[in-house]
């Protein structure tokens, strides 16, 4: 067989292999294309009406993603987060056009169907410390404030660890390296002022530092995110 | 939200779909820093690279004046 024939044959085999790769990756590719497009919409500065049109088109093209069951936990988190950012940019005043309200309700519907509903802020009363034991006089029979068992710092930290574990699982879903997880967590801490993401980032940075990773750039981002979080609170 | 490397990987696969192997190789190279440990990624990247080498060689052979010499074996 001539060299040319051998090469032709090899070319056909390689092309056939790559065709199969594309076919095998097609469902994943559709998901990534959908996230990519949504990301572009979120990052491109544009008027509310333009976003409405673009998101409308995105929903039309990508609504099937939910029913196709190809989304990973990390994808759902990403899409939910981006849609949340986009919703914040929509002008939802009382005189908002019907199209904008429709898109807003579509975003809510998507996030509800994927279990990512609006963030709920829970308020609790200030912590109370039981008064020191003293000999009660006849007039000292005041009822003590009831201290819920989980209002102490141990229980709160326990809850934080559980939240942090869920957060880590979400962000680590499709990552190949811990540095990628850290990168996304810092982005969440910076852009969404997510305190849990900030704390978890600090934890990961220390872990990586002990593993002799170069962490200085991440430390700088951590400090910046911390300042943003403090600034956001003081301005609130 | 997609990292640049993820976007590049995605673009590489889309280029493969279009059979734009040169473009795919360029995107694979851009994506490489984020997927250095992925055997799957490296397999697709190296297959594309090999295919481009084969295509280059075929183009080279097509353009050069040559004499094909085939071995002939006689019986007995």
User: What's this model's pTM, rounded to 2 decimal places?
Assistant: 0.50
CA A170 remoteness from chain centre? 8
Q: Which residue has the higher pLDDT, A98 or A114?
A: A98
Please give the Cα distance from A102 to A66 (Å, whole number). 19
Rounded to a whole number, what is the distance in Å from the CA of B54 to chain A's nearest CA? 6
Q: Is the Cβ pair A176, B14 closer than 8 Å?
A: no
Per residue of chain B (76 residues), what is the pLDDT tens digit? Answer: 578 898 899 899 999 999 999 999 999 999 999 998 899 999 999 999 999 999 999 998 888 755 555 666 666 5
Exposure of A119 by Cβ count < 10 A (0-12 exposed, 13-18 middle, 19+ buried)? exposed
Q: Please indicate whether, in this complex, the C-beta atoms of B54 and A25 are within 8 angstroms of each other.
A: no
Of A26, A30, A33, A176, which to mutate for an interface test with B (greatest number of B Cβ within 10 Å)?
A176
pLDDT, tens digit, 9 for 90 and up, residues A101-151: 888 888 888 777 766 554 555 556 665 555 555 555 445 445 555 445 556
* Subunit contact A39:B6, Cβ cutoff 8 A: no
Distance CA A50, CA A40 (A): 13
Q: Do A2 and B70 touch (CB under 8 A)?
A: yes
B2, B35, B47: residue with CB nearest A176:
B35
Most B CBs within 10 Å: which of A22, A34, A79, as the mutation test of the B interface? A22
Phi/psi-derived region of residue A72, left when phi > 0, alpha when psi is between -120 and 50, beta in every other case: beta
Measuring CA to CA, which residue among A90, A28, A94, A95 is closest to residue A54? A90
pLDDT of residue A123: 58
What distance, in Å, lies between the first and last C-alpha atoms of chain A?
Answer: 77
Taking an 8 Å cut-off on Cβ atoms, the answer to whether A11 and B54 are in contact is yes
Among the listed ranges A135-144, A155-164, A208-217, which one has the minimum average pLDDT value? A135-144
Cβ–Cβ contact A15 with B under 8 A = yes
- Greatest Cα pair distance in chain A: 111
Reported confidence tier of residue A235, pLDDT bands at 50, 70, 90: very low
């Amino acid at each position: 067989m001539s060299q040319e024939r051998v090469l032709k044959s090899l070319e056909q085999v390689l092309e056939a292999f790559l065709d199969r790769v594309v076919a095998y990756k097609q469902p994943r590719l559709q998901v990534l294309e959908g996230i990519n497009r949504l990301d572009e919409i979120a990052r491109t500065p544009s008027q509310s009406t333009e976003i409405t049109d673009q998101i409308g088109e995105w929903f039309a093209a990508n609504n099937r993603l939910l029913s196709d069951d190809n989304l990973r936990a990390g994808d759902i988190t990403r899409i939910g987060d981006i849609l949340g950012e986009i919703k914040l940019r929509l002008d939802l005043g009382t005189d908002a056009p019907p199209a904008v309200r429709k898109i807003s309700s579509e975003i809510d519907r998507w996030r509800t169907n994927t279990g990512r509903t609006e963030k709920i802020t829970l308020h609790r009363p200030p912590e109370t410390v039981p008064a020191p034991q003293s000999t009660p006089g006849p007039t000292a029979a005041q009822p003590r404030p009831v201290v819920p068992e989980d209002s102490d710092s141990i229980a709160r930290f326990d809850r934080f660890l559980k939240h942090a574990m869920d957060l880590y699982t979400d962000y680590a879903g499709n990552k190949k390296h811990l540095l990628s997880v850290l990168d996304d967590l810092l982005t969440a801490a910076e852009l969404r002022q997510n305190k849990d993401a900030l704390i978890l980032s600090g934890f990961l940075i220390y872990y990586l530092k002990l593993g002799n990773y170069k962490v200085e750039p991440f430390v700088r981002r951590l400090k910046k995110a911390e300042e943003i979080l403090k600034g956001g609170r003081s301005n609130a | 939200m997609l990292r640049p490397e993820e976007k590049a990987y995605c673009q590489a696969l889309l280029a493969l779909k279009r059979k734009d192997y040169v473009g795919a190789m360029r995107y694979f190279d851009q994506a490489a820093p984020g997927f250095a440990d992925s055997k799957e990624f490296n397999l697709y990247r190296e297959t594309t690279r090999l295919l481009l080498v084969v295509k280059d060689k075929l183009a080279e052979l097509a353009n050069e004046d040559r004499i094909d010499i085939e071995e002939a074996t006689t019986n007995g």
